Amino acid sequence: MSDSSEKLILTGAAGLLGQAILNKFRSHYDLVAVINKTEIDDPPEDIEIVQADLSVKKAVSELIDKHKPDIILNAAAWVDVDGCESDRKRALKSNFSVVENIVNAIKDKRIYLVQISTDYIFNGVDHPANVDDSPAPLNYYGRTKFMAEECIVDNYARYLITRTCALLGSPNRGQTNLINYFYNSLKEGKEVQAPEDIYANPIWVENLSELLLEAIQKGYKGMLHLGGKDYLSRYEFARIFADVFGFDESLIKPVAAIHQRRPAKRPQYAGLNVNQTRDKFETPLLTAREALTEIRKNIE
């Protein structure tokens, strides 16, 4: 049961991050969990679950009129970066139209809107992004997420945009889970190629959920960067992963990203500068090793 009378609508509740938020927030808010096609794993019995296509204007207005939320936390997105590049219509609907519909539906209300955004709105040419850097997305996924940010900033005042990056969760939970490839390959004794020239600061979804809870309870507004404490290459991360999970580190081979051709271009120096974040929060930002150690505990 919730310890608060505030009602919070969580969109994208069946995603990797959404399910972590659901479990972390359920005792703090009167929660309405919104899903589209994907189901929530083992949904809590005391949570109201609503199925809705939020790219449809009427569905959004009906959802808000019925539930009258104090807070909307939008974690709904299509985060398949390569998929967004090839199916731009779906990417636009999922990542921009949903936000546009929410903003239009709450323009005359005093609802606190929290939007989950991404480091991929930046080009990552030579450094992890600062909060005040100018966005310059390299791929269509990043472009749609930047369009969503602009829609909020230009049309609504009571918002918090939280950019994040390289989400970590338990193995084989969620399409976007960074560690799935490493886990499955190393478990089978297969060689893993990991770019030594692509950087980010991965964050565990449980750590991110705690940070989001603190940010919302403190009523933060504007822009926040929420990433892990360690800024490291995919190769460095893979080595730490293998060590924590007890896999053979010699199976991990460094490779230049140019040899891993994919439909969507990735920033080389992705990730986020979180120096300001550390000063704002009591919740600690976990290192990659700390996060992976907790993930391993959770699956054993």
Q: Domain map of the chain by residue range?
A: 7-167+203-228+272-285
pLDDT mean over 8-24:
95
Query: What are the φ/ψ torsions at residue 67 (nearest 5 degrees)?
Result: -100, -20
Query: What are the φ/ψ torsions at residue 35 (nearest 5 degrees)?
Result: -125, 165
Least confident window among 34-38, 64-68, 88-92, 236-240: 34-38
Least confident window among 25-34, 91-100, 260-269: 260-269
Q: Which CATH architecture has domain 7-167+203-228+272-285?
A: 3-Layer(aba) Sandwich (3.40)
C-beta of residue 99 within 8 angstroms of C-beta of residue 74: yes
Read off the pLDDT band of 37 (50, 70, 90).
Answer: confident
Q: Which of 25, 19, 23 is nearest to 212 (CA)?
A: 25
CA distance 175 to 98: 20
pLDDT mean over 239-256:
95
3-class secondary-structure state, position 129: strand
3-class secondary-structure state, position 294: helix
Q: How many CB atoms lie within 10 A of CB 83?
A: 18
pLDDT of residue 174: 57
pLDDT of residue 45: 82
Most distant CA pair in the chain, distance: 58
pLDDT of residue 7: 96
- Amino acid (one-letter) located at 261: R
Q: In the chain, pLDDT over 90 holds for what percent of residues?
A: 83
Read off the pLDDT band of 241 (50, 70, 90).
Answer: very high
pLDDT of residue 262: 81
Q: Dihedral angle at the C-alpha atoms of 255, 267, 189, 295, nearest 10 degrees?
A: 140
Q: Residue 260 pLDDT > 80, yes or no?
A: no
Task: Give the angle subtended at the CA of 253 by the CAs of 252 and 255, to the nearest 5°.
Answer: 135
CA distance 154 to 158: 11
3-class secondary-structure state, position 116: strand
Least confident window among 3-12, 137-146, 210-219, 247-256: 3-12
Q: Which of 109, 111, 129, 110 is nearest to 119 (CA)?
A: 129
Read off the pLDDT band of 4 (50, 70, 90).
Answer: low
pLDDT of residue 5: 82
What mean pLDDT is reported for the chain?
93
- Across 48-61, b (16+ Cβ under 10 Å) vs e yields ebbebebbeeebbe
Task: Give the angle subtended at the CA of 77 by the CAs of 245 and 287, to the nearest 5°.
Answer: 30
For the segment 119-150, what is each residue's pLDDT rounded down to a tens digit?
A: 999 999 999 999 999 999 999 999 999 999 99
What is the Rg, in whole angstroms, of the alpha carbon atoms belonging to the chain? 19
CA distance 136 to 142: 8
Q: In the chain, pLDDT over 70 holds for what percent of residues?
A: 96
Read off the pLDDT band of 170 (50, 70, 90).
Answer: confident
Q: Which residues pair with 163 in a beta bridge?
A: 117, 225
